[in-house]
A = this chain, B = another copy of it.
Amino acid sequence: MAYTPIGPLFTDLYELTMAAGYYFRGMSGSATFSLFARDCTERNFFVAAGLEDVLEELSTLKFSTDDLTYLESTGLFSADFLSHLKETRFTGEVRAMPEGTIFFPDEPVLEVTAPIIEAQIVETYLLNTVGFQTLIASKAARCVHAAAGRPLIDFSLRRTQGRDGGLKVARSAYLAGFSGTSNVLAGRRYGIPVSGTMAHSFVQTFLDEEDAYSAFAEAFPENSVFLIDTYDTLEGARLAARVGTAMGQRGASLKGVRLDSGDMTGLSRQVRRILDRAGLPDVQIYASSGFDEFKISEVLDNGAPIDAFGVGTKMGVSADAPYLDVVYKLVRFDGRDVRKLSPGKVTLSGRKQVFRRSDPKGGYRADTIGLAGEQLEGQVPLLRTMMFEGKMTEPLPSLEDIRSRFRKNLSELGEDYKSLHEKKTYPVLISKKLQELQER
């Protein structure tokens, strides 16, 4: 489906008042801003996401007549400045890490270079888009790692922070290795495989639990997953086994049962036994309810025979770290490198590049933040020119390609950094030339 721009009013007012200030003084020099995430106690690595929306939005940036009428109504802006906005398009350059790239605190994941007004007014959109999608991809990646190859389905839509949140969660989780989503609109929009089972309400609308399963099996002879904990989980498992056996006899097949409450390890073992004894070893056990990387890892460590997980709320809002400290900092203006020195919030000045050094087997050794023009021998630059003079420089990659890139990135990241519980800082160095620039 085609991208729908949100438009340039999706911004903090101060971006526009600052733009008016620049305009008033006739300032139109070129500015470079670096977008990066500061350190996050709960994460050892981040997964770049959101670039597709960034490139789509910047390509179509334009104030509509309604936008300008509204801005005029605030009484804050001069007619001259509003005329200027009317003609404003994004004509600059975007250098960024492709989606699915693993990156680390303080590394610019995206740099914009454009006339100051253009570069300034897109700040809020860029931070929101890259920050949120990266947040979710980074959380989802941890879940995927914890599940050790078992499929994960995004079940978060009912509790995501809004509509767009729900769609972007489905995409970001899929990008980071989830197998599918319950979110039908995300299925349609992004081509993500959709999947789903049944709710307690379905079982309750029938006078008899077994009848509920039978009814569902009739409608979905190959795609039924019965939710078995509405009344008593083990009794639910026995009824499911009975219906599953009957399905087999008429050439259909029960796909799975789902646990949604109680002691997951104990119940999954007992349910597995019930299914196996009924001659249904291929019927899978799905589990949902409060899963995140920690709970997945816990039940698997305990040996729970769970085949697939529905992962909802805690992933969908990144509950243990519900925002990233992403910032968009001016690093160069009108030919001059600039730097901010507020307490505890130092920024590296200058247009930058991030270089990655790998060992002979491909494993990441260390990154170096350097100057945009530098070349560090044997190291791979991660920021690529994605937009030049306001136009995309290459076709957008498919979501499957992004997913492959992420999978490769994750396999090349050292196991230590994938720890769910321990903070382990990946080495990020500063190149000599960038260091010299800071000292000047």
Interface residue? A231 (CB, 8 A): yes
A262 at the interface (CB under 8 A from B): yes
Q: Could you say how many copies of this chain the assembly holds? A: 2
Give A162-195 as 1s and 0s: 1 = Cβ < 8 Å from B's Cβ atoms: 1111111000000000000011110110000011
Contact between B6 and A343 (Cβ–Cβ < 8 Å)?
no
Residues of A within 8 A of B (CB): 6-7, 9-18, 20-25, 27, 29, 31, 33, 66-67, 70-71, 74, 76, 116, 120, 123-124, 127-128, 131-132, 135, 155, 157-168, 182-185, 187-188, 194-202, 204-205, 215-216, 218-220, 223, 229-231, 260-262, 313, 316-319, 322-324, 326, 329-330, 333-334, 338-345
The distance in angstroms between the C-alpha atoms of A261 and B165, with both chains bound, is: 29
8 Å CB contact of A18 from B23, B202, B223: B202
- Of A11, A162, A195, A205, chain B has the most CB atoms within 10 Å of the CB of A162
Q: Looking at the assembled complex, report how far the CB atom of A162 sits from the nearest CB atom of chain B, in whole angstroms.
A: 4
Complex CA gap A194/B70 in Å reads: 11
Given that A21-B215, A201-B33 are known contacts, is A67 also in contact with B188, CB under 8 Å in the complex? yes
Residues on B with C-beta less than 8 A from A124 are: 157-158
Identify the 3 closest CB pairs spanning chains A and B, nearest first.
Answer: A13-B196, A14-B196, A161-B161
- Give, as a whole number of angstroms, the nearest-CB distance from A317 to chain B: 4
Contact B164 A201 (CB under 8 A): no
- Which residues does chain B contribute within 8 Å of A157, judged by CB atoms? 10-12, 124, 128
User: CB-CB < 8 A to A15: which residues of B?
Assistant: 196, 199
Q: Is the CB of A17 within 8 A of B342?
A: no
A124 and B158 CA atoms in complex are apart in Å by 5
A160 lies within 8 A of B132 (CB): yes
C-alpha spacing A316/B131, complex, angstroms: 14
Check A120–B319 contact: CB distance below 8 A: no
Determine the residue in chain B with the shortest Cβ distance to A120.
B201
A24 lies within 8 A of B218 (CB): yes
Residue in B9, B184, B215 whose CB lies within 8 Å of A188: B9
Query: Within the complex, what minimum Cβ distance (angstroms) separates A28 from chain B?
Result: 11
Q: A215 to chain B: which residues have CB within 8 Å?
A: 21, 24-25
